[in-house]
Amino acid sequence: MSATAEAPSIQLDLDQVNRQLEDADALTILRWAADTFGPGLVMTSSFGAQAAVTLHLAVQVMPDMPVIAIDTGYLFPETYTFAEELTKKLKLNVKWFSANITSARQEALYGKMWDQGEEGYSRYHWLNKIEPMQRAIKELNVTAWIAGLRAGQTEHRAKLRTVELQNGIYKVHPILKWTTKDVHDYLTRNDLPYHPLYEQGYASIGDTHSSAPITADGNERAGRFKGLKQECGLHLPQTRDEDQSRQASGL
């Protein structure tokens, strides 16, 4: 259940690019991405707690930018309605993708994979998140992917740079250095909503079976995947060579 790494269609010197964007603000980074990748640029959104920030920033630069959203079939009802609200409010060009096998059939064949430890989660994430994302990248001819990751969310994200390469696709992180306060201030200043479940203690919101409220002093991702892991796999290396390359670069 892994992908083969591919060479990027656009060759960039990532060390130089990251030096160039070291002190750039989010909109400058997004404009650079739009100029560099053109129609091959997309963004992803889980329509989670603070999703409105990156969506609002991105449409200021490219109003018709495709927004890839992965429907696992297990999202909270509030997530579906929140996605519709933001789509209308920001006039988003959302492209929904989901697994090739229904959630009911998955449970019949494999049981409740999220109750089967890390191996079960890995199968679940491949079927419902990674494979649909790979299909979206292929169908939309993606060369670069904007993601609203922030360094303070997980150990993996703390090691990222503004622009990275993942499985032949460039990843651009315009708000990587933002704090939780930066996010709150931006949402307030621009009259943008948090996800409805945020006020109930859900700082990170994914599937119903793998998201839970956190304590006041908990990490934002502490309520995900029953504490077994912090990442679903979409933002992790998909090949051994890619992971070794990242480690060699000090990331």
Q: Which residues are catalytic?
A: 232
Q: Coil, strand or helix: which one is 197? A: helix
Outline where the chain has alpha helix (H). 14-20, 26-37, 52-61, 77-90, 103-110, 117-125, 131-139, 155-158, 180-189, 240-248
Query: 77-90 and 52-61 helices cross at what angle (nearest 10)?
Result: 30
Q: Return the amino acid letter for 199.
A: E
The answer to whether 107 and 135 are in contact (CB under 8 A) is no
Between the alpha carbon of residue 186 and those of residues 139, 177, 193, the distances in Å are 33, 14, 10
Q: Return the amino acid letter for 143.
A: T
Structure tokens at 38: 């053109």
Tell me the β-bridge partners of 98: 71
